[in-house]
Amino acid sequence: MSDPRTVAVNVAANTNDPGFRGPVYPDGSFAYVPIPEPAATLPRDRFPVDEPLPTYADLDLPFALPSELREVPVHADPESSDAHGRERASYGDPHGVKAGRIAGLGPGNWLFFYATLSLRPRDWRGPGDERVGDTGADVRGGEWLRERGVAVDDDLPPQWGAFLFAGIRVDWAVSADGGGVVERAAAVEAAPTNAHLKRDPFDARVVVAGDPDASGLFDRVVPLSAPEAGTAANPIVTDLSSDSGKGPWWRRPIAFDEAATARLLARIERE
């Protein structure tokens, strides 16, 4: 494959953190749910921009969250102007494998984000009233929908899958020589509200700043999983990307060259 023009990385809520996946609805619309903030954070007066550390209670979600989560801080990364009240488009990553791929992106390239999402009814109530997975949890999924004759888009897997849901058109990517942590001052200049700049210590190996008008959430997900099963990769992965689609491909960074990026962008614009 020639030099990547797009890299897609896995983000957002999952069955480990906070204990459930976000929903994808039968028409391919979805809700973006960030993970909990797993790291220690600075006092607010040491943030580069004076703003509170967001919690799950601050998120604009169309379903109820367990009470145990409401005051838990979230890792609002990626951020974009149409997601949960953020204003800028940015992303930071501390993991060498992902950061190394992202650091090669230049102005006009794309950083896409994918998540594992569970198929849910449009009126999904949420993952439980008191604790994730409690007896009040709404576990209606693909089987429930199909048994009741609810129309489900043909390209959605039967229960859960991996889906592209957002993107940042890159203005610049800041990384450190030798793969170390980015210089904090450079990260502040590029993306002052990025979640990693609230961590103590700052830990990002790459920070991306993007065009806030061109970046953001998609109207509809683009499936990476095949309609047969969430664990099976579809041709976007196996034919267009650098990934083989074998093993746990839905956890890996996925790269696309210039020709594949053009086809992928055309697909996104149709959705």
Q: What confidence tens digit (pLDDT) does each residue in 159-194 have?
A: 999 999 999 999 999 998 887 999 999 999 999 999
Pairing of strands 110-119, 6-10: parallel
CA dist., res. 139 & res. 56, Å (int)? 20
Give yes or no for residue 271 having a pLDDT over 80: no
Q: Which neighbouring-strand residues pair with 110?
A: 6, 169
pLDDT at residue 241 in the model: 97
| Structural domains counted in the chain | 1
> Do you find a cis peptide bond into 18, omega within 30 degrees of 0?
yes
Mean pLDDT of the chain: 94
> Which whole number is the average pLDDT over 16-20?
94
* Share of residues in the chain with pLDDT > 90 (%): 90
Look up the domain containing 53 and give its range. Answer: 6-270
Residue 1 is assigned to a structural domain of this protein: no
Average pLDDT over residues 72-92: 94
- In a domain, residue 24? The reply is yes
Neighbour tally for 225: CB within 10 Å: 26
241 lies in some domain: yes
200 domain residue, yes or no: yes
| Mean pLDDT in residue range 31-46 | 97
**Structure confidence at residue 136 (pLDDT):** 75
AA identity, residue 249: W
pTM of the model: 0.95
Only one residue has tokens 């590029």, namely 190
Q: Which pLDDT band holds residue 3 (cuts at 50, 70, 90)?
A: low
What's the average model confidence in pLDDT over 209-225? 96
Token pair recorded at residue 244: 């083989």
User: Which residue would you say has higher pLDDT here, 116 or 2?
Assistant: 116
Residues 236-270 pLDDT 10s:
999 999 999 999 999 999 999 999 999 999 999 87
Whether residue 71 is contained in a domain is answered as: yes
Measured from the Cβ of residue 44, the count of other Cβ atoms closer than 10 Å reads 11
pLDDT at residue number 1: 40
| Tens-place pLDDT, residues 119-133 | 999 999 999 776 676
Residue 178: its pLDDT value, please?
80
Q: Which residues sit opposite 93 in a β-bridge?
A: 206
d(CA 29, CA 271): 10
pLDDT of 4 higher than 70 = no
In this predicted structure, the answer to whether residue 101 has a pLDDT above a threshold of 50 is yes
